[in-house]
Amino acid sequence: MAEKMKLEIVTPYKKVVETEVEEVTATGKLGEFGVLPGHAPFLTSLKIGELAYKNDGITEHMSLNWGYFEVQDDKIIVLVETAETAAEIDVERAKAALGRAEEALKKLTSEDKEHKIQEAALERAIIRMQVAGKNVRK
């Protein structure tokens, strides 16, 4: 069994990450999950959430937008709309987005079309701040 897996994170704009990893955790549609080398072939869709991968004892956190996660033969392919490393996240902007989304949500009911959009925006902002925070503590 291989000790390490290959991880590729790809967005429509660029290939964000291509590296070897020991462990990956991500937020799937049905909840958080972890992947270690030797995992069975697995395909899931991702929610807006966090992805962390560990390599040589160093953990990197990333915030992901909607996407897919595929494992096959110790090769992980993550297809996402956006992916940001902790360093790339603009905390101020995330905070502002959070405020905006909260404001908007107060005025909307769950039946509105806007509601879903704003909710997603809120979620994205929260995740971004979470991920950025982790980077600071490290």
Partner 1 sequence: MASLKSIKKRIVSVKNTRQITKAMKMVSAAKLRRAQENVVAARPYAKKLGEVLQSLSANIEGDLHPLLEKRDAKKLLLIVITSDRGLCGGFNTNLCKAADRYIKENASTYEQISVMTVGRKGYEFLKSRYTVYKNFANVLAKPNYQTAAMLAQEVIDGFVAEEYDKVELLYNSFRTVMTQDITFEQMLPVAPEAAVASDETPVEFIYEPSVSELLAEILPKNIEVQIFKAMLETVAGEHGARMTAMDSASKNANEMIGKLTLQYNRARQAAITTELMEIISGSESIKG
- Residue numbers of the site for partner 1 (CB under 8 A)? 8, 10-15, 28-30, 40-45, 68, 70, 72, 77, 79, 81
- Output 39 or 115, the one with its CB closest to partner 1: 39
Cβ nearer to partner 1, comparing 50 with 132 = 50
Q: Which CB sits closer to partner 1, 81 or 102?
A: 81
Distance of closest approach, residue 26 Cβ to partner 1, in angstroms: 12
* Residue 14 vs 106, nearer CB to partner 1: 14
Minimum Å gap between C-beta 33 and partner 1 is: 8
Q: How far apart are CA 125 and CA 97, in angstroms?
A: 6
Question: Do 25 and 32 contact (CB within 8 A), yes or no?
Answer: yes
Residue 14 CA to residue 69 CA, distance in Å, equals: 17
Nearest partner of 76 among 13, 130, 24, judged by Cα: 24
